Amino acid sequence: MVGLVIVSHSAQIALGVKELAGQMADRGLKIVEAGGMPDGSLGTDTLRIHEAIVEADSGQGVVVLVDLGSAVLSAKTALELLEPSTARRAQIADAPLVEGSISAAVEASIGGSLAEVVAAAEAARGILKL
């Protein structure tokens, strides 16, 4: 199953998104949160994201969902730190964090491929709320 990494400036947002997406996913789905800085302040930590990607990877790939601005930069740097074999199957989704994570979690649960899970996350951009 493709794993997910939830990156947010806030540890609590990352945990909350993990909880919500996890409720909709199968138990076998690995969702690893990487929120906040090691000292508990707001921010995104490249090393923490890197560790989360390694933890979420079970061989089928990892989709990284990010919140704002520098989260994207930190996630890109984390991907560069990966072993080439892992890096080939890790991808950042260009998607809103909450909706994208939920959509990705369900798609990964039904056995979607890396490309399908990324596509499901990115489909969240087109969903209107009203």
Partner 1 sequence: MVEARVVLTNKLGLHARSAAMLTKVAAKFESVVHLYGASKSANVKSVLMVMALGVTKGAELTITAHGPDEAACLAALTDLIANNFYEE
Looking at the Cβ atoms of 24 and 37, the one nearer to partner 1 is 24
Q: Which of 9, 18, 30, 48 is catalytic?
A: 9
Looking at the Cβ atoms of 82 and 123, the one nearer to partner 1 is 123
Least distance (Å) between residue 24 CB and partner 1: 4
Supply 25's token pair.
């996913």
Least distance (Å) between residue 83 CB and partner 1: 32
Supply 59's token pair.
């061989």
CA-based nearest residue to 52, from 17, 94, 25? 17
Looking at the Cβ atoms of 14 and 79, the one nearer to partner 1 is 14
CA-based nearest residue to 60, from 20, 102, 116? 116
Q: How far is residue 81 from each of residues 84, 87, 125, measured CA to CA in Å? A: 9, 8, 28
Least distance (Å) between residue 26 CB and partner 1: 8
Could you tell me if 50 and 60 are in contact, meaning their C-beta atoms sit under 8 angstroms apart?
A: no
| Binding positions for partner 1, rule: CB under 8 A | 20, 23-26, 99, 102-103, 105-106, 109-110, 120, 123-124, 127-129
Looking at the Cβ atoms of 55 and 99, the one nearer to partner 1 is 99
Q: Look up 9 and say whether it is catalytic.
A: yes
39 contact partners, CB below 8 Å, separation of at least 6: none
Least distance (Å) between residue 37 CB and partner 1: 29
Looking at the annotation, which residues are catalytic? 9
